[in-house]
Structure 1
């Protein structure tokens, strides 16, 4: 699937092409590239993005999985509308938006996932455990953490759930930005990305 706004087969849509709302988190392009690479998407993947925020991951995944289904889960009605607008903006048609709080709303989702993306947030252990029960065998899970507490909760959950083939990376990237008359490197917020597989 391609979009007139992003007619390329590679991920990494520039941040400024997305509509944004003040105070609503957005995975920056460099972090998104890490997440997408760890998800290891196929053309027909079924991905649950829990806490989808601005909708950058659903848009990227929707373009990369033309035969797949992306379920964007978001509890806030205004934010869910933003995701819908960003999907429309890029002409992405295979994203289903579920308005509700995880883990309660997960029970009612029709499409069982083979990929799960959980971007930090509160109740990470409860949500991850519930999502894990729905995840297909051989499926993959990717979780982000921006704090030491979040990293600890995610890694503890991975251990309890017996996630296999675990990988953990921390991003450390800088962007060249113009400030006044000078160009300087500004850091992209560092984040931990944990990924693994469900093999039993």
Structure 2
């Protein structure tokens, strides 16, 4: 299966899934990818890669780049590999390990980092900051106020610049019986910022 377009936005049901493993919904993914501000040769770390939607989409958008997908669970790491194969994405490397410990030895210094969920988020941010190139960007998601606060505090401590915070509010048309109705997608906070020096 090949995504035939140059734009992101692969439908959620095109990805192989495992029960209980999170998937970044298409509309949220579009916001996250936009905040990453990718270039064709970007080096991207995706920490807490889950189903692998971000590695697949960024791998397609950065054909000369390198995507490092970090996932601690062996079965989930295998799922990411299968989704990359499914979309013929060959520039994604899946690293099995727990953040922040495994981040010290990752190949390729990142220009862009995506952190999906993840605890302890402030420790992860500190290690990412050490490796992030100047003018690099971090995008992190929070689904709870506690995580939002921790990421905001981490961004302030590291003195990220040009910080943006967006909360998604998305509704999808769904068919229920003979009626069509709008159903809300769980809101997610998307925080982004830059390392200027």
Report the number of matched residues.
197
Superposition pairs of residues 14-53 of structure 1, within 5 angstroms: 14-53=11-50
Superposed, 1:123-138 pairs within 5 Å as: 123-138=120-135
1:104 matched to 2:135: no
Equivalence for 1:66: 63
User: Structure 2 CA distance, aligned partners of 1:177 and 1:169?
Assistant: 25
- For residues 1-200 of structure 1, the aligned pairs below 5 Å read 4-200=1-197
SS of residue in 2 equivalent to 1:102: coil
**In 1, Cα distance between equivalents of 2:181 and 2:126:** 42
What are the ranges of 5 or more consecutive residues in structure 2 without an aligned counterpart? none
Question: Structure 1 stretches (4+) deviating beyond 6 angstroms?
Answer: none
**TM-score, normalising length: structure 1:** 0.97
* Separation in 1, partners of 2:118, 2:69: 15
Deviation at 1:107, TM superposition (A): 1.3
User: Could you list the runs of 5+ residues in structure 1 that have no partner in the other structure?
Assistant: none
Q: TM-score, normalised on structure 2?
A: 0.99
